[in-house]
Amino acid sequence: MKNVTLQGKVVALFGAFLTVVLGLCLFFFYNAVKVEIEKENLKRMASYASSFEQSFSRPEAEGGGIRGLAARASDFGEWPGRVTLIGYDGEVLYDSSASEPLDNHIQRPEIRGALVDGTGSSLRYSSTLNTHMHYYALKTKNSDGHDAFIRVSYPISAFTRILAVLVRRSALAMASIGGMGLLFWIWLTKRLFQPLEEIVRRSRQIGTADARFPIFRDVELQRLSEALNTMSERLREADADIRSRREELARIIEALPIGVVLTDSARRVRYLNGVTRFLFGDKGDVVKGSPVERLIPNGEIYDMLDGPDARGVVFLTPPSRVEGDALIVEVSTISLATGRLMTLRDVTEERRLEEARRNFTIDAGHELQTPLTAVRAAAELLMEEFCEPSGESGTREPEPQKSGQKALVATILRQQERMTSLIDDLLLLVKLSGSKGELASAERTPEDLMDLLNTVADEFRDNPAARSVTIETAGPAPGSPTPFWANRSELLRAISNIVDNAVRKCGEKYGPNPGGRVKLELRRDDEAAMWVVTVSDNGPGVSPEAVGRISESFRDSFRGVEMGTRGKWGSEGHGLGLSIAARVVKAHGGFIELRSPLNGAVSGEAASGGAAFVIRLPMESATGESGTPE
């Protein structure tokens, strides 16, 4: 039935409908005639059975029983009917016409009816006599007192002839139905299916200039044609728009400075641009539909394309470059719904510039340290000249007339110290950037994070610059271990840089007056398996716009953190301390978040501004060792 057309199904349905209607008419007519004939003969059959029952019920001595039944049947002479005596178990005891034993009759309809109601009647076709017979059964008693049945049957030839006429006329009606079905098929083909075939033919041309559907006479088909013409026009416009966008996208991708390769689910090339051909070699034989294996020259790239989404760096030597002068290419693979997308970015020049910047910073730092050392030595000698021995104690007191010169020399010493600190910060930042944020396992030791926070807090409490700022610490209950594998010196410096920044900002807001507060808090986040260190202050705070820029600076590998939007933030530094802190935390597998304003979370004021640097460190180290010392 899968290959049968709609036209064939309609014709078959029409023929089946007419056939079912004719069959139902024949069935009801047959039953009606049968019931009427059965009713008409029922009284006569009952009188026959009663007559035979009277002969059978007389005592055998008086000519009753089976002999009396047979004698009564012979009295009818050439009677077309038939009388049968059936025992209570269905066995045939006597039959006026049969000369051979008959089958058990207990299941015959008329016998079963007589068994229940005393009488039973049935009109059915007899294959032995080739005609319809009317059977009537009457329940009686034999001489032993057991039930017995006297059945009378009579041929209904008229009913058989009627059915024969019905069969002939039914055949004629079926032939008429076939003719009507043929005419209906021809009409349906002309009025409906031919237009539909034309619509199907035109629909295969959708997308071309001549895909117009004809307008038919029938209103329904006219509406269908108009709707299809509208759809065809929209599809042509959509197809043209898709082609235009595809060409535009192809030009954009071709103009990109990175290589792009798009493959389908069968690992065939769907698209590649000129940069890819340059990096992989021209390979003009690789076109759309070619296996991707013919394109990729590097097994490492092939493994990335065959594996999960990843990003890595490989070395490629295009044919245009000499052997040994390889390009450094950053490769990224992304899974799509129907294939994979691979991008290739040549970072050779970027890496060389980064290396040159690192080398320049290191060389410049070391070169600047020599004159700065000489400047400090000279300034210290000048400072000694401004002091005179005094009294027997041998102490040196400044000469009043030289106090102005001494202040200038002190400024030189402070600026020399600042320059030296700035150079040290740059060199450390270069070191951290060059290590790609990784620390060797040998550089780590088991430490207690709460002990590190207390160490930093004690150092700043003893610092004269923080004498007007209250330094607080908070953490787990005393005695609770807070273990972590860390590079002690570098992690102490990172936390100190953040605390120093908080102390300076509190000083800018409150000056020499008390009120500034800095809080160092440690807690554990068991759900995320992280240690959380929070350094908060009640300083001037950071604007929401600056928070995003500072967070972005945290993610940068080299440049300083932009701090110019926090009050006078940035007037005394370049943000290198916070950048170093971010790199150190990243090297330990963590990250830093900035939150501002805090709305009095530190100082208890209604809306104090303030800021908080949140350091998150994993309880498991980045190298796979447990973050908890054993």
The pLDDT value given to residue 565: 41
What token pair was written down for 320?
Answer: 């245009």
Given this model, what pLDDT does residue 629 score? 40
Binning pLDDT at 50, 70 and 90, where does residue 284 land? low
Q: Which of 285, 401, 605 is nearest to 293 (CA)?
A: 285
| Sheet of 516-525, strand order | 469-474, 516-525, 530-537, 611-618, 591-595
CB within 8 A of 64, min separation 6: which ones? 55, 56, 57, 58
pLDDT of residue 457: 92
Query: Helices (DSSP H) in 256-385: which residue ranges?
Result: 274-280, 299-306, 348-385
> Which has more pLDDT, 134 or 596?
134
Share of the chain above pLDDT 90, in %: 7
DSSP tally for the chain: helices H, then strands E:
14, 19
Cα separation, 578 vs 558, whole angstroms:
11
Quote the longest CA-to-CA distance of the chain.
182
pLDDT tens figures, 432-441: 666 555 555 5
CA-to-CA separations, 583 to 382, 557, 594, 625, in angstroms, rounded: 39, 7, 15, 20
Residue 377, C-beta contacts closer than 8 angstroms, at least 6 positions apart? none
Is it the case that residue 341 has pLDDT exceeding 50? yes
Greater model confidence, 303 or 207: 303
Phi/psi of residue 5, nearest 5 degrees: -75, 165
Average pLDDT over residues 300-323: 78
**Range of weakest confidence among 57-66, 443-452, 555-564:** 555-564
Highest mean pLDDT pick, 115-129, 432-446, 555-569: 115-129
- Region 223-251 average pLDDT: 82
Higher pLDDT, 122 or 233: 122
Q: DSSP readout, 29-78?
A: HHHHHHHHHHHHHHHHHHHHHHHHHHHHHS-GGGT-HHHHHHHHHHHT-S
Interval 326-333 mean pLDDT: 87
Closest CA to 542 of 500, 582, 509: 509
Choice between 200 and 515, residue whose per-residue pLDDT is larger: 515
Is the pLDDT at 493 greater than 70? The verdict is: yes
Mean pLDDT estimate for the chain: 78
Which residue type occupies 469? V
State whether the Cα torsion 498-502-507-508 is positive or negative: positive
Confidence at 615, pLDDT banded by 50, 70, 90: very high
CA–CA gap between residue 131 and residue 125 (Å, rounded): 6
Average pLDDT over residues 112-137: 85
Q: What is the pLDDT, as a whole number, of residue 300? A: 82
pLDDT for the residue 413: 82
pLDDT tens figures, 73-123: 787 777 788 888 888 888 888 888 776 778 888 888 888 988 888 898 888
| Run of H or E including 268 | none
Report pLDDT for 381.
84
Can you spell out the DSSP letters for 192-256?
IIHHHHHHHHHHTTBTBTT--PPPPSSHHHHHHHHHHHHHHHHHHHHHHHHHHHHHHHHHHHHHS
pLDDT (average), residues 399-415: 75
Which positions ≥6 away from 565 have C-beta within 8 Å? 542, 543, 545, 546, 549
- Higher pLDDT among residues 598 and 565, named by residue: 598
**pLDDT band, residue 319 (cuts 50/70/90):** low
